[in-house]
Structure 1
């Protein structure tokens, strides 16, 4: 009787369902199984030299390893190294485990893959459609770059030569696919950073226009207007500066506050693609034009103050 009871308990224990494994454990097991069966160093080719462990893990997590390995048509992969993923972790404050768990991981990885065998000699300036359905911008004017990311090594092979591998030193994220690069206040406000001159230039442009308008309408000099309206002037300068600076600390997906990078970013082009008004004026309203106008306004404000101080009255 005891033996039968023990056997029954053992049978029940064997039939008892196990706790559902976590997603991380499932992906880890899948990665181990994939590498044990098909992802040997020989089949991986260039991707098996030890620099692409995170890329391979991400491909396994997104269930794309077998898709690429067994593709009936040649493919070209812009392959980010482990250091490229580490850089993405630092710049975007997102651990690799968090990136690997994103729902759009497959889209991000497919954005690195192009149909066909595209060698470095075949690359030329223009857009190339990726397996994600979106396009990457190729620039060969100074080296080779895809969406602004440098191609460090080219024309390697993987999976028996069916896949051409170009090594990139950053992860190529599609527009609005992940949070923006995070900058520290020190980086933003540093003397060589973009913010100080941009903000001072914008405040100077606003101040110069308002000063001229005030002189024409009231007859008061720049310094007289500033003395009589000090509170309003300080408030306006603060709000204007804050409006220019605050977005720089945003980490919204795809956002770029630096005007010198914004106009050429994937996000900017994605939003304004095919917009006739923007296409007509974008060359005239460039960050360089704003920078030039800002510098002129700063010189103009300083010159106006000095000149009116020497004259003793308003210029207009």
Structure 2
């Protein structure tokens, strides 16, 4: 959670928004929406740290908005506090069943609101820290395979909304087993950390993600990156690792540590499995190793052609007449 936590206030009454905003604005970055539809768009564009949600609103009510937030993979962990004038126990139960974490009744008591918001924001911060640790490789500080399994599908779905590019890199340290055999595992760990540093250095955008895939293999997820740009990033990584000049007397291709990198780039479309990026990049990495190592190779993923209903009908007619 960087900077001040972001609180999204959702209420169709501007007077309620102003009052709640005045209570919280000294400690939080306050945003607001006056309908469920607007709130959903805002939250998906920039996920908040907590949502204060009115129940009774025209159109999409608070219960439905809360359910939709909890169904969204990116927003499911954002805590929702209902702010409402409804007092019946069944209303409260319905709110918790929709996914809310707490209830604050109107008229709002400023000290109660501040206390509830502070506690839930702090709990979310602690959960986020634990989640980060669970998805971080302890040796290199990069993401781990668990993060890859979570992030790659979500990025593919997100980019599919606009049919945008996604590139995926797989990097392998050449002859790393031999490196460990001659220099020992402590030096091997130093080598892994040094390579990880060069991966970080080659990625220039905040949404690019580097990961340790396992052993001496690394991966990178590059959203909105076309094939030439992805190959440029990969070549920068390869060159920067070579320029470290880490001695490797057992390498069959260089006196220094080198890497091979496979690149897969494709436009995301709904229904196209993210596994295609992994298998394609892996095939390109194998090609690098087969043809000499210390190089990069890339492939553009072509989406499967979808036959039109007209062509299918025409083929059936031709088949029947034959």
TM band (smaller chain): under 0.3
| Structure that is richer in helix per residue | 1
- TM-score with structure 1 setting the length: 0.24
- TM-score with structure 2 setting the length: 0.23
Task: Specify the structure having the higher radius of gyration (Cα).
Answer: 1
Q: Which has the higher contact order (CA 8 A, sep 6+)?
A: 1
| Structure that is richer in strand per residue | 2
